[in-house]
A and B are shown apart, each in its own frame.
Chain A
Amino acid sequence: MGAAIVLALVVAPEDADQGLSQRIFYIHVPIALTAYFCFGLGAWKALLLLWRRDSRYDLESYVAIHQGTIFGALTLVTGSIWAKASWGVWWTWDSNQLVLFLVLFLFYCAYFMLRFSLEDGPRRARSSAVYALFGIVLVPISFLAIRLAEDFIHPTVFTREGPQMTGTMFAAFCVSWAAVTFLAYVLYRVELAGKRLDADLRELREALAP
């Protein structure tokens, strides 16, 4: 299964024969989309936690957001590479996508600081859930803000060329997207299982201790 993922990730970019800049695009965009999806999943689990008061959702929400943050960091890295390949700079404020991810990345890093600073328990679960919901609402609001900022505060200097996708390129893109999503899903399940095991072990240890 692992081999299939790697193969898919490598084959897809090689299908794109447009040069490094376009190749990164095939990885960068799926990673970004996956990150959004993970944040959304985290927020959904958070909502379920608050609504159904089942603490099971806390771990699921946490792992989803953890994945989202990892993919978010990857988005920033691949985006930076893309920027270098396309415009010769490692960072640009002109890519709305990139700036949005920077803001979100900061926000979700603070999520982990929040979890770190609270003691394990229902309060931590609930506060994290509320914060996760704030995060997902922040996505559209931040996007709007960045658009508005672009209009008057930081006017665009570079023109952005989104790649025009023909049929085969689109197919390659979809393969890549599917592969990344699948990778994310696998990582999510693995981490969730691992964390659940940790939690069960801890409970057992506490129960057995006199």
Chain B
Amino acid sequence: MVTGPNGSGKTTLLRLLAGLAAPTRGSLDVGVDRSRLGFLAHEPLVYRELTALENLDLFGRLYRIAERRERTGMLLERFGLWDVRNERVSAYSRGMSQRLALCRALLHEPDVLVLDEPYAALDEQGAALLDRELDELRGLRTIVVSTHEPRRIERLATARLQLA
């Protein structure tokens, strides 16, 4: 769990971990390649003009997931998006598109999950679903979460990092 005030560099750290940013000095070796890493950013990282189903299908192909359709369906249902799966993301609320972003991050069953302030953009329903998900994944995967509401996930954290 990574905490710290705004501007302390939490997002930068997480982007470095995810491989989206390169250090200006020195080097960083995360030890896992992109196919086993999932990332949740402030933005949903999905195409506005495509539907949820199309978006997940696209990323499913890029991540080369076996049984793409089943996994997509399962995730959509799990996060309460099955009913709107054929609507374009442009019609979604912020909370819904962030839930879709979660689906995208979990799609390929990554070993390492990096979540950048996940509760910030989620609605009530989404936050509850994320809680449930984190509970289930806790022992099985490495999860890095940054937040400025530490109380929510305090009980789950096995390590803490405070950025000044």
Chain A positions near chain B (C-beta within 8 angstroms) = 55, 121-122
Sample of 4 A–B contacts (CB below 8 Å) = A55-B24, A121-B24, A122-B22, A122-B24
Question: For residue B24, which residues in chain A have a CB less than 8 angstroms away from its CB?
Answer: 55, 121-122
Chain B positions near chain A (C-beta within 8 angstroms) = 22, 24
Q: In chain B, what residue has the closest Cβ to A122?
A: B22
How many whole Å from A86's CB to the nearest CB in chain B?
Answer: 52
In order of increasing CB-CB distance, the 4 nearest A-B pairs are A122-B22, A122-B24, A121-B24, A55-B24
How many whole Å from A28's CB to the nearest CB in chain B?
Answer: 43
Q: In chain A, what residue has the closest Cβ to B24?
A: A122
How many whole Å from A30's CB to the nearest CB in chain B?
Answer: 40
CA A111 to CA B22, docked complex, whole Å = 24
Q: In chain B, what residue has the closest Cβ to A121?
A: B24
How many whole Å from A39's CB to the nearest CB in chain B?
Answer: 28
Question: For residue A55, which residues in chain B have a CB less than 8 angstroms away from its CB?
Answer: 24
Question: For residue B22, which residues in chain A have a CB less than 8 angstroms away from its CB?
Answer: 122
CA A55 to CA B23, docked complex, whole Å = 12
CA A55 to CA B26, docked complex, whole Å = 12
How many whole Å from A54's CB to the nearest CB in chain B?
Answer: 11
How many whole Å from B34's CB to the nearest CB in chain A?
Answer: 19
CA A135 to CA B62, docked complex, whole Å = 34
Question: For residue A121, which residues in chain B have a CB less than 8 angstroms away from its CB?
Answer: 24
Q: In chain B, what residue has the closest Cβ to A55?
A: B24
CA A55 to CA B24, docked complex, whole Å = 9
How many whole Å from A194's CB to the nearest CB in chain B?
Answer: 22
